[in-house]
Structure 1
Amino acid sequence: MDALMLSRIQFGFVISFHVLFPAFTVGLSSWLAFLQWRWLRTRDTIWRDMFFFWMKVFAISFGMGVVSGIVMSFQFGTNWSVLSERAGHILGPLLAYEVLTAFFLEASFLGVMLFGWRKVPEKLHFFSTCMVALGTLISTFWILSANSWLHTPAGYEMVGDMFHPASWREIIFNPSFPFRLAHMVLAAFITTCFVIGGVGAWYLRRGDHLEPGRRMLKLAVAFAAIAVPLQIVVGDLHGLATAEYQPTKLAAMEGHWHHGAPGAGVPLVVFGLPDEANERNNFELAIPRLGSLILTHSLDGEIEPLTAVPPEERPPVVPVFWSFRVMVGIGMLMLLLCALSLVAWRRGRLYDTSWLLDGWRIMAPSGFIAVLAGWFVVEMGRQPWVVQGLLRTEDAVSDLEVSSVVISLSAFLLAYAIVFGAGGSYIYKLLRRGPLPFEPAPESDDGERTPRRPISAADPNEHEVDVAKPAGRPG
């Protein structure tokens, strides 16, 4: 364990925690906008109760995402200063654009969304919710653009050993960016979709919050039936782009070591134990030609094998190989669950089929697992490069003592366990409590509404009335 490996572990640990929250809040913010739109259109109080319920979950998730994102950005200066120095003229402006457009937009309207109910006109409050949702998407745009540039650098020129921008259009819209942006945004929406569907199924199985549970599950099934097949199509396009620009990563994903016989095509390795020392897969189970059909859209197409490059230029095959299968496997399970849910819906059995409800409950965290697996594929598959083909990871790390990285990594482990453990348990408490009837905030003697604590946006007691006590529901 040298400083390089420890720095990689630290960055991987921090980004793995961070990506979970944007993957949830990007979709959740759009879900909030939908709920509020339905409330404004129908004046059905169930929609309003669901809006405030999920807004509390969003408030905590968004806060933890901001905290983990700030910590992650510090590492560019502490652990990866050479990368910051050499590529800072490109990465710096891209990250600054994210702050100037997305973060400022979110910061401007987030407070109105969380605390502005009945303090501002309804349409302005709804507009604020939409702006928060738009801000999360804009943030995804800039972050994915910067990250994609590291995979498929374009629009730059070298001045000495420094990367300088030559065309911002080519930098921003680098070759892998459009596919990765679509893939990540869909992944975020699908992640949120399965959480909402899983929570709705949970309530139906408990026999509690039945009407909100039915609406959550029904809408999750409808959205997933569209988004999951679309994600498979986008993933296929992303794979074709990877074959063109990062063929070694694709070979690691597929466990493809050698060229086969002429005209034999590439098999699809369903199962195998990659053996990097002997350049083969042990206990391999493969389907002939299917890999060519999926990867090249022809039965005899070829992709570049791992042995086409020296061993020192190959990514770690085992984690890339298995992470890819975890991601794809979860995607297939999602597709199967959607198909079965549509059949049950058509038969009028969506809400009372116990094994189907259990399936949604089990699959509730599946989107998070798939997102993590996908990021492992993307980032480990780029190795040994931090800027593909131009700057090796070992040359981008700061000159640090091993003890310094050990201390910082240990501090992150402890702090994240406490902070995110508390935040996660609080979100679970909110989910168990469920959407309760909304109640207006109390007013002071002079008719003005009393100020609230910032954390009250996620306080289970705020805006809600105990269902055990007699209270009227506003119409």
Structure 2
Amino acid sequence: MELLSNTVALSRMQFALTAIFHMLWPVLTTGMGIYLVIVEGLWLKTRNADYYYHARFWSKFYVLNFGIGVATGIPMEFQFGTNWAPFSEAVGNFFGSVIGFEASWAFMLEAAFLGIMLFGWERVNPIVHLLSTILVAVGANLSTLWILTANSWMQTPAGGEMVDGKFIVHDYFQAILNPFMVNSVLHMFFATLETSLFVIGGISAWYILKNRQSAFFSKSLKIVLAAAIAVAPLQIYIGHLSGEQVYHYQPSKLAAMEAQWQTTPAGQPADWSLIALPNDKAERNDWEITVPNALGYILEFKKNLSEPVRGLSEWKPEDRPHLVGLIYYAFRTMIAIGFFFAGLMLLSTVQWLRGKLSPENISQQRWLMLGWIFAAPLGYIAVESGWIVRCVGRQPWTLYNQIRTVDAASHLPASNVLVSLISFATVYTMLFIAALYFGSRIIRRGPNLELPLPELEITKPAVDTKPGRFVPDERPVEAEQ
């Protein structure tokens, strides 16, 4: 009952709900936009109809995620003015500008060309259509840029100072290029791309396992596998760089991520906690399994640390993160999924080189296909886990070391926040059920390989010679007007 009367706690719960739910949808659109550019480019280059049908099929998932992402993103941003008005007033001259850039630069660009991408196949020049698809993908990924810029600035505020309770910006470029910005943007970019790749790969593997158009979906699986060869290792490396930054800029968060209660001085080795049961009240771990001297190698690739790793007990309880167990295991969940993706990519690449992913053999790779299906939702879990570490680990600060969360919340009746929280939970549950229904419906129906092929400028499409393929007629024709 005490929780139900705590406005700050209820506001935090509401923002957590809206942020976690909203994050499910743009994760796929930002990565899938790049995939759509690839398959449409291959369609124009090779004239292979399979790539055209892939573009038409996967764009259905794009528009489904885009619609729900818009519907859930706007209420989340509105909360800065309703539930977090003191924070908005204090940092609005920078934070508000960056959020405005996301709406005007990213969302408007994506929305403006989405209609052409979806409905312009036989209405505009093929190059214009490809350009529209590129601009949609650029708009989706610009959202990642500006949202992560804003959040990174909350983690490592730069470019100004607090004066009489308000952040005064002296250098906008320094504020934008704050210490966390570059790695945070890259880490999230590759997270959305990796998630999208394994979702597309997982759905493709399901069709292959069901012997439904195996040759057709083997193409999409190979495309995402080729991309994952680069993306999966890069994501692990950039994640490591992000961890190093936490070590240098947010020592209390690192202590929570590692459930480390006592300080390890500089120049000494530190054990790495593999698994533990943190106890916030007792300020210790009830039990744990550690790897001796491993933390130095993880943070700095050497045994002895150049800087101390401060323990949580160095901070007063009101000045350090709580929910240490949540932060600790969310961090390890994210890491485990990243390495699982890399392992699945490596195994799949070996099978590809052995010729086991050819249209004739791919249906026989049952366990490998099951691995891809299992991987499909894991990217979402990794992204949500990463945001839990990022935001819960920042507490008790909204603007790190500048504005406390308790001071950032609006002074609203707890009952009002509770009503809006319940309302959001109800509506979002309905949206989630609807998304699962329509998404499963798209999968059950599969791609429509009977769609007429749009006329291209250079060659005139001939009649299909076999399902999902066509042979171009070499007679030149005029561009469709």
Which TM-score applies when normalising by structure 2?
A: 0.90
Matched position secondary structure for 1:112: helix
Task: Work out the CA distance in 2 between the residues paired with 1:260 and 1:42.
Answer: 59
Matched position secondary structure for 1:382: coil
Deviations 1:293-324 (A, max 9, x none): 11132201142221221121111211100100
1:351-366 matches, within 5 Å, as 351=362, 352-366=364-378
The amino acid across from 2:66 in the alignment is F
2:333 paired with 1:326:
yes
The amino acid across from 1:356 in the alignment is L
Task: Work out the CA distance in 1 between the residues paired with 2:8 and 2:173.
Answer: 33
The amino acid across from 2:152 in the alignment is S
The amino acid across from 1:391 in the alignment is I
Q: Please identify, of 71-80 and 255-264, the stretch whose mean Cα deviation from structure 2 is larger.
A: 255-264
2:257 paired with 1:250:
no
What residue number does 1:370 align with? 382
Over the residues paired in the alignment, what is the CA RMSD in angstroms?
Answer: 1.9
1:304 equivalent among 293, 298, 310: 310
Matched position secondary structure for 2:393: helix
The amino acid across from 1:435 in the alignment is P
Matched position secondary structure for 1:82: helix
On the 8 A contact 2:270/2:304 being kept in 1, the answer is yes
Which TM-score applies when normalising by structure 1?
A: 0.91
The amino acid across from 1:297 in the alignment is F
From the superposition, tell whether residues 472 and 205 of structure 1 become closer, same or farther in structure 2 (CA, over 3 Å): closer
Identity of aligned residues (%): 40
1:126-205 matches, within 5 Å, as 126-205=130-209
Deviations 1:114-140 (A, max 9, x none): 111111111001100000001111111
Shift of 1:394: 0.5
What residue number does 1:463 align with? none
The amino acid across from 1:307 in the alignment is S
The amino acid across from 1:171 in the alignment is A
1:63-462 matches, within 5 Å, as 63-260=67-264, 264-301=268-305, 302-316=308-322, 317-350=324-357, 351=362, 352-440=364-452
On the 8 A contact 1:105/1:135 being kept in 2, the answer is yes
Task: Work out the CA distance in 2 between the residues paired with 1:125 and 1:211.
Answer: 27
Task: Work out the CA distance in 2 between the residues paired with 1:281 and 1:26.
Answer: 39
Deviations 1:186-215 (A, max 9, x none): 000000010011111111100002122111
What residue number does 2:52 align with? 48
Q: Please identify, of 19-28 and 180-189, the stretch whose mean Cα deviation from structure 2 is larger.
A: 19-28
The amino acid across from 1:182 in the alignment is L
On the 8 A contact 2:187/2:239 being kept in 1, the answer is yes
Deviations 1:54-104 (A, max 9, x none): 111101111111111101011111111111111111111111112221122
**How many residues are matched?**
448
The amino acid across from 1:220 in the alignment is V
What residue number does 2:20 align with? 16
On the 8 A contact 1:156/1:166 being kept in 2, the answer is yes
Task: Work out the CA distance in 2 between the residues paired with 1:223 and 1:248.
Answer: 36
Structure 2 unpaired stretches of 5+: 455-466, 473-481
What residue number does 1:446 align with? none
From the superposition, tell whether residues 129 and 297 of structure 1 become closer, same or farther in structure 2 (CA, over 3 Å): same
From the superposition, tell whether residues 439 and 284 of structure 1 become closer, same or farther in structure 2 (CA, over 3 Å): same
Task: Work out the CA distance in 2 between the residues paired with 1:401 and 1:15.
Answer: 22
Task: Work out the CA distance in 2 between the residues paired with 1:178 and 1:135.
Answer: 18
Shift of 1:473: 7.4
